[in-house]
Amino acid sequence: MLKERQGSSNKAINIGLLGFGTVAGGVYRILKERGKEITSMLSAPVEIKKIFTRGSRNLFPESAKSLAVKDFGDILNDRDIDIIIELIGGINPAKEYIIKAIESGKSIITANKALLAEYSEEIFKLCLKNNVHIGFEAAVGGGIPILRSIKNGLAGDSIRSVYSIINGTSNYILSKMTKEGGKFNEILKKAQEKGYAESDPSLDINGVDSAHKLVILGRLAFSASISMEDVIIEGIKDISQLDINFSKELGYIIKLLGILKNEDSKIEIRVHPTLIPSSSLIANVDGVFNAFFLNAGYAGPLSFTGYGAGSLPTASAVIGDLIEIAGKLIHNDKHHDLILSEKFNKIRIKKKKDIISRYYLRFSAADRPGVLAKISGILGGHSISIASMIQKGRQVKGSVSIVITTHEANEDELLNSIKECDGLDVVSAKTVVLRIEDIEDKL
């Protein structure tokens, strides 16, 4: 239970910090630099009392060294610590620490998207039960106040769709491939050297990191119970320069998008490389920027862009949560975010096979008369209608590329037709299938 703080409103708010990586370093720095302003705002000082990390303390500034503790228990059992900021990341041991902290009445701030995507319902329930607050703005979109905008600003609105760029590493790689050319692996290697990609970038490039964030976003946007199993996830590692170039020729740019759609409570939630019009605003969000393009029933089209990662932008979001929660503790306010209420809307998640989309198809086919007729015949037989066709480029190992874009088609039908095409003796490699979204976000 929250300690009663009335009558002692200028008692310090004490923080236990878990982890001391990039983001935690940023939090420490902002509190050092802005401590006076924050204290004045809240009429009470906000101080990091203890720091627990199992990793190296190399990043610790001299002034932080005396705050280091050896065990999580030193923070958990410290009755003066009001708020735990968890910046360890990953499921274990972060989950155990957070649960124990909540059970001992401490409020939580976390940037842990993996944990929230998998366990937010359990964690939120526990927060309600133990009457503690939780802030997690930093888990999605770094310094962009997107969660707050959705859960508070648009609380009464109905969100119809969200197109998002929520993984900086993937966006950096695709932007480089699009603007400067080059192979996926080479650019990834350079990104790692520059610190734009992690040494193990798999969660970034396979779409799972985006999916984690999209699940959190979707729960807030639709007040719905959504889990990782509901997300269609495809990463960027198979995107070739060839497909980027053909897309350009067709007026499209390939981006890894996180997509949410809600039509009559039938929800689509998917992460995949997507062809979007080169002229759209979101196609021009490059490098490590994140972006959210929402369509709200009443507010209409809304966009938010900014740094989606990095020490200080993410720390800025943590500090925003910290000031909000510290304010609530100081005023002994037990009113929780409505999102914790678990009053979920009834929704149905669309299965992959039920998705309707436009598609980009690249066939590797023998350069012989009649091939196009065979392919288009199969597509037609599955009621898939062709919007455009390109056949050009030189033969590679006796094959040429035939690129077809379709009008809207059912994914199940489409994949069946591709299976049939890939069985033709004139088709020499697995056909590339990408989805097209004709986003109209012109301002």
What are the catalytic residues?
213
Among 289, 359, 360, 363, binds a copy of itself (CB under 8 A): 289
Give the DSSP H/E element, type plus range, for residue 365. Answer: strand 356-366
Q: Give the residue with the Cβ less far from a copy of itself, 143 or 201.
A: 143
From first CA to last CA, the distance across the chain in angstroms is 48
Name the region of 287 (left: φ>0; alpha: ψ -120 to 50; beta: rest): left
By CB under 8 A, residue 11 contacts a copy of itself: no
| CA-to-CA separations, 69 to 18, 29, 46, 52, 164, in angstroms, rounded | 10, 19, 19, 5, 39
Q: Give the residue with the Cβ less far from a copy of itself, 89 or 153.
A: 153
Shortest approach of a copy of itself to residue 116 CB, angstroms? 18
Q: List the x/- string, 191-230, binding to a copy of itself by CB under 8 A.
A: --------------------------------x-------
By CB under 8 A, residue 299 contacts a copy of itself: yes
Among 4, 194, 229, 300, binds a copy of itself (CB under 8 A): 300
By CB under 8 A, residue 316 contacts a copy of itself: yes
Tokens for 7? 């009558």
Q: List the x/- string, 329-358, binding to a copy of itself by CB under 8 A.
A: -xx-xxx--x--x-x-x-------------
By CB under 8 A, residue 416 contacts a copy of itself: no
Residues whose CB falls within 8 Å of the CB of residue 323, separated by 6 or more in sequence, listed in order = 38, 41, 42, 46
Q: Give the residue with the Cβ less far from a copy of itself, 147 or 432.
A: 147
Among 130, 304, 390, 422, binds a copy of itself (CB under 8 A): 304
Closest CA to 198 of 161, 160, 172, 224: 172
Asked if 72 contacts 96 with a C-beta cutoff of 8 angstroms, the reply is: no
* Cα 97 from Cα 76, distance rounded (Å): 8
Site for a copy of itself in 129-188 (CB under 8 A): 137, 142-145, 148-149, 152-158
What is the residue-wise DSSP string for 141-162?
Answer: STTS-HHHIIIIITTTS-EEEE
Among 206, 284, 391, 416, binds a copy of itself (CB under 8 A): 284
Tell me phi and psi for residue 46, to 5 degrees. -115, 120
What is the residue-wise DSSP string for 155-195?
Answer: TTS-EEEEEEE--HHHHHHHHHHHHH---HHHHHHHHHHHT
Name the residue with tokens 């303390």: 57
Among 17, 116, 236, 302, binds a copy of itself (CB under 8 A): 302
Shortest approach of a copy of itself to residue 145 CB, angstroms? 3
Q: Give the residue with the Cβ less far from a copy of itself, 137 or 234.
A: 137
Q: Number of residues in contact with a copy of itself, rule: CB under 8 A?
A: 66
By CB under 8 A, residue 405 contacts a copy of itself: no
* Cα 260 from Cα 214, distance rounded (Å): 8
Q: Give the residue with the Cβ less far from a copy of itself, 191 or 414.
A: 191
Contact residues: a copy of itself, CB under 8 A: 26, 30, 34, 37-38, 40-43, 137, 142-145, 148-149, 152-158, 223, 281, 284-287, 289, 291, 296, 298-307, 310, 312-313, 315-317, 319-320, 322-324, 327-328, 330-331, 333-335, 338, 341, 343, 345, 442-443
